Chain A
């Protein structure tokens, strides 16, 4: 896994898809492919209210990326300095092995160039000390650019707060 992680706070996410738009405009992605995508799950009634989850699906930048192993030309690469997985378009021959290999559907197909393209966490921005466009532009600040360890801390803090709200002080 890369040293970065995009944490999506479901409580804050409103499913507006600003993340998708900021991604497309930042990377000038054509109509069709999308590097990051919101998938709606629901609505399902919980309690008295129908709830819905908006699941953000960028590339997860795996520790042992299936797409990298599957790539016959070395076009799909993992950056040694921070683990970001990206395509070198000059080496891509458009065989789609990465698209077949990835269980999460992250690699995308650019029919105009006949090559694979994918989320690279906006590595040019990351190299400038900035965050990926999806995180920076998120309407309600629901996406956070943090380390996996920090994400665990956020979830623990939220859980701790939730249970103490229900347990009255003695």
Chain B
């Protein structure tokens, strides 16, 4: 680009998985500033991680060229490779593996999100059913709970913050674990007068803005909800017409919650019974304009699935589906009378093989859209149900995300081929055979995506600058691999532009339609379905199934008796983790500016407990579990439940190339020995981790 030129490119952020719409200011071919896209956000608002994309782009400590390992796996010895060398290496090994063990012996792990079509098409074209993403360590229980009850995933409904009158957040730190639009919408709602109760085991910036903040005993959110349902049912505060029309299993629910009174819940949660009754009344009064946020964090336990179900039951009781101020169904292209955006995966023949992780056959109530990444090491080691020999790890880092990385690593070390495609160094990349550096989100154009919503749209991540190093865009990497493997026909394009024009063909748009605003609007106004007759629940009964037929098929009860969460053994604390606005778990810790603001995590511990242990703020403490010890500085606070300790997730990086983040703070997931398991909802019970804490000697 000639000197002195300026341009502005609309695109989609990738600093975290919210993927906000952005406007990239480019000057002399380099990123000048990254703002929010005002056409979609109403202003140039953009969170700190989004703004820090500029220094990520210029960072010399990200991946710069393809690398093939030059020593033992995990030795950290690499040789620089050309793209041809690296791709040939992968293709020849994959061919050998597939001819010996079949396509199903190859698995693909993905970060997840809307940009997954190409990865899904690739693994399917290899003849493997084995696509999975990070949700086993994230929102699997939420997705699967909603799916079994209503036939919808978590994200096929949107929150109507604009009209919500009352909201409960269960450990959802919406003002620190932020998406730009959601945080602003939430603040707008508070300014408008929305009332809000925050439930958590610790105080945080979200709690600071609450009308009511209740610090409950860790893991007992489910007990609170059962008592709320108990009151709502007993006092007949529910939306009778909605329940009559759209719910099955009401009778069973009424019988089930009978013993779970507010007085019972007070003992379980530590929240006074009176308060619980008040909240139930507030919900009833505000219904259906209520939001009860479905995820994340506090009750991420063995019975998390049943807790998430209870949230959706409350929505159903309060008539909160397709209601102003409640949940609105996301509509797609077809609801605007158009044909859908073309997908690569639809052109690939169906694979009739069972999955490695048991989803669909052993676990009939869990969705193959997410799978069970946590089963991978076990499948590799036991060759059960069949040998898994190659893992293509796309922008995913199970050794950072999942509990018990040692157990995970043990499986991965036995693979014949481990390939990582990423923009950054990752713990999983570090033990890979080949690392392929993907062009950053600012350097690449990705396939267009359909963005469901009450007002559906098409979005495009568009290249703003030339690649800084020897990195390549995803569309090119997968196409190159596909051609070497004889499946090139399923990737019918030669450039990103050709691919997008191909995607847009049936829906009747062209690439240039993205130019003006960075997105294509598919509906002028919100599309709303008729609440009495037009709702689409994709269950066998077409209703919200409190008694779930899907669970029955898996041999699981819809209403198992409540079980108290495990209490920490004497001298132990429940280890909980979370996020802040400055960081996206492990992926931003080495960012020049974000690292400057928050270079390490600390361990929050309750003032009285700290006193017993002789710990003061700033002291170095040892946190231990299952023989693993991490050291970190303590933050002593009144505002955390005495049973719990808390830290920011993802710190304690162990990759020397990331000099700013290297060994700063504690790596929480290493303490979670034995938790690489499958709870009922397909999640790992990450918060069932108990640790000892002592002052470091």
Contact = CB atoms under 8 A, between A and B. Distances in A.
Is B one of A's binding partners? yes
Interface of A: 11-12, 14-18, 20-22, 24-26, 31-32, 42-43, 48-52, 133, 136-142
Interface stretch (B47-55, B77-85, B612-620): B47-55
Given A14-B176, A25-B54, A31 B596 contact: yes
Contacts of A139: 45-48, 178, 180, 183-184, 581
Interface string B180-191: 100110010011
Contact of B46 (A18, A31, A142): A18
Given A16-B178, A138-B45, A25 B208 contact: no
A17 B183 contact: no
Contacts of B44: 136-137
Contact of B43 (A20, A31, A42, A141): A141
B51 A25 contact: yes
B418 interface: no
A150 B677 CA distance: 58
Contacts of B48: 16-18, 20-21, 139
A49 B596 CA distance: 30
A14 B35 contact: no
Interface residues of B, number: 41
A14 B210 CA distance: 12
B401 interface: no
A15 B175 CA distance: 9
A60 to B, nearest CB: 22
7 A-B pairs closest in CB distance? A16-B581, A21-B51, A21-B48, A14-B175, A18-B48, A140-B187, A25-B54
A130 B453 CA distance: 32
Nearest to A31: B596
A42 B581 CA distance: 18
A51 B581 CA distance: 18
A50 B183 contact: no
B592 A31 contact: yes
Interface string B36-80: 100000011111101110110000000000000000000000000
Contacts of A43: 203, 208, 639
Contacts of B589: none
Given A14-B175, A16-B178, A51 B208 contact: yes
Nearest to B54: A25
8 contacts: A15-B175, A50-B639, A51-B208, A52-B205, A136-B44, A138-B45, A139-B183, A140-B184
A49 B213 contact: yes
Nearest to A19: B48
Nearest to B175: A14
A76 B52 CA distance: 29
Nearest to A125: B33
A134 to B, nearest CB: 10
B589 to A, nearest CB: 15
A12 B175 CA distance: 10
A41 B165 CA distance: 29
B51 A16 contact: no
A17 B597 contact: yes
Given A12-B191, A16-B47, A141 B213 contact: no
A52 B55 CA distance: 30
Contacts of A24: 593
B183 A140 contact: yes
B207 interface: yes
Contact of B35 (A12, A48, A136, A141): A136
Nearest to A142: B187
A137 B35 CA distance: 6
Nearest to B580: A16
Contact of A22 (B51, B183, B191): B51
Interface string B603-643: 00000000000000000000000000000000000010000
Nearest to B208: A52
Contacts of A133: 33
Nearest to A49: B213
A25 B639 CA distance: 34
B34 interface: yes
Of A12, A16, A24, A48, most B-chain CB atoms within 10 Å = A16
B582 interface: yes
Contact of B207 (A18, A49, A136): A49
Contacts of A141: 43, 45, 184, 187
Contacts of A49: 207-208, 210-213
